[in-house]
């Protein structure tokens, strides 16, 4: 299709781009919906609400998605918390019957902000290899702000908490033994299928691949999932080639909206849930600041007391030390701002059993990872120990004020 007009995009490239987009998106609506959304047609709205719901929340496990009204609420709250600038969205009715143009703008906004498509594709990615959990599984460690309506019963006895903690300890123990067993089994499977894989760098089959051979029906399903993922990947690549046209079109869509004149309607905030996270961090930082002050001030006083009579060569040394400390601390700051350089992978890795003598080929060696993890483990143990010590001191202080009691601490193993 040549450029027929001097409009800057080729006629016919836009439908292709939109078709590629809708094919890449999970539960993507047909290109017709997009066209109708430009004109704010109401019949296009429900499909777009559902699309945004699917994009903004992880795929439902059981396949039962909530009703449209709940989806609408969730989409609104998610977009709002991500900082969606237009307030019209919040005012759209909850039955999902209107606002298709606004939803189209919201989708484009999400697409423009980050690698949305790649992220969605990675979410539903077909994994063909075996993995073990390393600490990239953040969801396991930090569940995040607690969901408000769980266990909303009244006051509980502290023994209930103790019971829950005990239960948690046992679950972890179970997890560890199950994981060990699984590793032993995987080791066997990998060594029994040595030399089978067509890909030389892998060398042996994974459980998923052996399943494929054992159960033809399951194997067919896996194959179908792979092929449909390939289709989506190709559509994503095509989208990349043609997305400029889409953005030019979105400009026109945005242009056809009226400028917002209405004042903001503030959404009511739920006071019960909320920035517990910030409070915790504040508490920690304050503690740290206090400790640093407590350590630095006496040292400064002692230093000042000894000052004098150092001589001229001291001032050059002094400057050198100041610079060195400045560089040190700047590097430290960079470490948390840029996320540091974790030696650990942040994505599941495919397990491959390989002879220790064979050095060629890319890949992370388990032995190196073990080293990095041990360091991390010891750091975390130190942190936990420190917290526990702090509690012990605090409790001792609180209890010490009570006369006439003897506290016998448990003997530490």
Pick 341 or 406: Cβ nearer another protein: 406
Binding residues for another protein restricted to 285-304, rule: CB under 8 A:
285-286, 288-289, 291-293, 295-296, 299-300, 303
List phi, psi (to 5°) of 29. Answer: -75, 165
Q: Which C-beta is closer to another protein: that of 35 or that of 210?
A: 210
For another protein, the binding residues in 200-239 under the rule CB under 8 A are 201-202, 205, 207, 209-217, 219-220, 222-223, 226-227, 229-230, 233-234, 236-237
Of residues 69 and 275, the one with the C-beta less far from another protein = 275
Residues 31-50 close enough to bind another protein by CB under 8 A: none
Give the footprint of another protein on residues 51-90 (CB under 8 A): 55-58, 73-74, 77-78, 80-83, 85-87, 90
Name which position in 30, 124, 179, 315 contacts another protein (CB under 8 A): 179
Q: What are the Cα distances from residue 380, in Å, to 142, 373, 375, 387?
A: 14, 10, 9, 11
Angle (CA) 255 259 264, round 5°: 140
Helix (H) or strand (E) holding 325: helix 312-337
Select the residue interacting with another protein from 15, 68, 129, 238 (CB under 8 A): 129
* Count of residues touching another protein (by CB under 8 A): 226
* Residue 61, Cβ density class (10 Å: 0-12 exposed, 13-18 middle, ≥19 buried): exposed
Please give the Cα distance from 76 to 89 (Å, whole number): 7
Q: Is 2 in the site for another protein (CB under 8 A)?
A: no
Which residue from 15, 32, 41, 373 is in contact with another protein, where contact means CB under 8 A?
A: 373
- DSSP one-letter code for 204: B
27 is an interface residue for another protein by CB under 8 A: no
Only segment of 26-34, 36-44, 91-99, 271-279 that touches another protein (CB under 8 A): 271-279
Beta partners for residue 204, in sequence order: 194
Least distance in Å: CB of 374 to another protein?
6
Distance CA 101, CA 38 (A): 5
Buried b (16+ CB within 10 A) or exposed e, 371-403: eeeeeeeeeeeeeeeeeeeeeeeeeeeeeeeee
Q: What residues numbered 326-365 form the site for another protein, per CB under 8 A? A: 326, 328-329, 332-333, 335-337, 345-356, 361-365
- Sheet strands (E) in 217-327: none
Helix boundaries (H) for 82-147: 100-113, 116-123, 138-141
Among 319, 321, 342, 343, binds another protein (CB under 8 A): 321
Which one of 268, 309, 311, 312 is in contact with another protein (CB under 8 A)? 268
Binding residue (CB under 8 A) for another protein from 11, 27, 161, 343:
161
Residue 38's nearest CA partner among 353, 198, 255, 331 is 255
Residue 156 near another protein by CB under 8 A:
yes
Radius of gyration of the chain (CA): 30
């Amino acid at each position: 299709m040549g450029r027929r007009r001097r409009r800057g995009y080729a006629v016919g490239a836009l439908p292709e781009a939109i078709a590629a987009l809708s094919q890449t998106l999970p539960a993507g609506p047909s290109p017709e919906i997009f066209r109708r959304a430009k004109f704010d047609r109401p019949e296009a709205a429900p499909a777009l609400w559902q699309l945004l719901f699917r994009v903004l929340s992880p795929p439902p496990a059981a396949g039962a998605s909530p009703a449209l009204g709940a989806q609408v609420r969730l989409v609104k709250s998610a977009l709002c918390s991500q900082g969606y600038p237009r307030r019209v969205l919040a005012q759209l009715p909850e039955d999902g019957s209107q606002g298709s143009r606004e939803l189209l703008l919201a989708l484009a906004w999400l697409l423009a902000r980050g690698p949305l498509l790649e992220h969605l594709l990675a979410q539903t990615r077909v994994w063909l290899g075996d993995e073990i959990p390393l600490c990239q599984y953040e969801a396991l460690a930090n569940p995040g702000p607690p969901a408000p309506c769980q266990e909303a019963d009244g006051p509980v006895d502290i023994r209930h908490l103790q019971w829950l903690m005990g239960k948690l300890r046992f679950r972890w123990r179970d997890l560890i033994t199950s994981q060990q067993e699984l590793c032993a089994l995987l080791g066997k499977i990998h060594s029994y299928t040595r030399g089978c894989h067509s890909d030389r760098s892998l060398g042996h089959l994974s459980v998923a691949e052996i399943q494929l051979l054992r159960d033809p029906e399951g194997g067919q399903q896996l194959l179908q999932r792979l092929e449909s993922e390939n289709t989506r990947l190709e559509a994503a690549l095509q989208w990349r080639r043609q997305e400029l046209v889409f953005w030019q079109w979105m400009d026109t869509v945005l242009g056809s909206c009226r400028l917002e004149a209405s004042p903001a309607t503030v959404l009511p905030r739920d006071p019960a849930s909320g920035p517990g996270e910030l409070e915790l961090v504040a508490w920690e930082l304050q503690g740290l600041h206090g400790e640093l002050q407590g350590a630095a001030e006496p040292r400064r006083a002692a230093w000042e007391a000894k000052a004098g009579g150092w001589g001229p060569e001291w001032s050059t040394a002094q400057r050198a030390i100041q610079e060195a400390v400045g560089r040190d601390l700047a590097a430290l700051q960079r470490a948390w701002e840029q996320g540091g350089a974790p030696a650990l992978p942040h994505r599941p890795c495919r397990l491959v059993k390989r002879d220790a003598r064979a050095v060629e080929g890319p890949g992370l060696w388990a032995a190196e990872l073990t080293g990095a993890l041990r360091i991390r483990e010891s750091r975390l143990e130190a942190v936990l120990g420190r917290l526990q010590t702090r509690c012990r001191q605090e409790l001792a202080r609180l209890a010490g004020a009570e006369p006439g009691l003897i506290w016998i601490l448990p003997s530490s193993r």
